[in-house]
Structure 1
């Protein structure tokens, strides 16, 4: 019978890697109560915090294991997927707040297709469960509407679009240690910028 992986690899080494991966990363509770404190739903806030923590843990794990080539690309893709999901959630929360509070001033949010004003593309927001309607919208739609409403600026919208493209794509460019760090840090910053923008917008629209 094969020995458990803990015995093969050594529990001491596993513990050391885990300790390094967790070091200097805020806990899920920390993220919940700081970075994502402005998210309305406690359950959703917690879920976003868990996803963000997971992305940071994967980043640190990649450093600990000195991953390279295919493995490094896999680590980058995992982070991009999670960062994209977090940004999508942050924008959804801000737009839900804006729609429910009557703060919307643009036109795009009324249509499901970007750039369309056709009647059959019109979204009925006069429903009790507005969140269900919002959950049907794409990441691109969220970005476009958030920019039109002034929740995010053009620069951040561009960064979010790049994150969206990276999440939807498979080719990540060069897989080098420098590229690994730069890619992770770039999209990590997009998450923080999105949180900052939505937090400030909410504060300005009580």
Structure 2
């Protein structure tokens, strides 16, 4: 699927547009925590776009480390005590931070799964193609001839992650449609445009994540 240029370019455009939106929101925010959160989302979008083209594979360890730290940061916000007002305090905010922690962890997992396809003995994949679906069977064979630990059960691991992000995409689409319905039926408590935009971006991001993980099961 990702060998088709139009799909790769479409997903790349969506990710970069989403990243640009988060950069703008970070610049407009008055709170340091919001700036950091939006900046991390922009970074994740950029790294996911780079995954589609198999760019800068030599820095994958650093990328995985950054995304893992980002996942830890959102987890800390999700479990922070209520007196820390700059972090997630209400139930909705904690749930949002927990989801973002899982999103960052998912991106880190995706990079780790890609990294094993570029290590010695596994070969490399040209830029502009997704390496995982085209090298999965080669990876399974190479795993028996190398002493380097690898994610031998990546398809089994990817299936529940694919289901999770697919479900998340559906939930965000429902939230988006519900907010639009409320907008057309009443002007009371109308969600802000920013909220609807974020729901749309979350839905697209979750769908792309699910699609990318789904390719590893092929």
TM-score range for the pair, normalised by the shorter chain length: 0.3 to 0.5
Q: Larger RCO: Structure 1 or Structure 2 (Cα < 8 Å, ≥ 6 residues apart)? A: 1
The structure whose residues are more often helix, as a share, is 2
TM-score (norm 1): 0.38
TM-score (structure 2 length as normaliser): 0.36
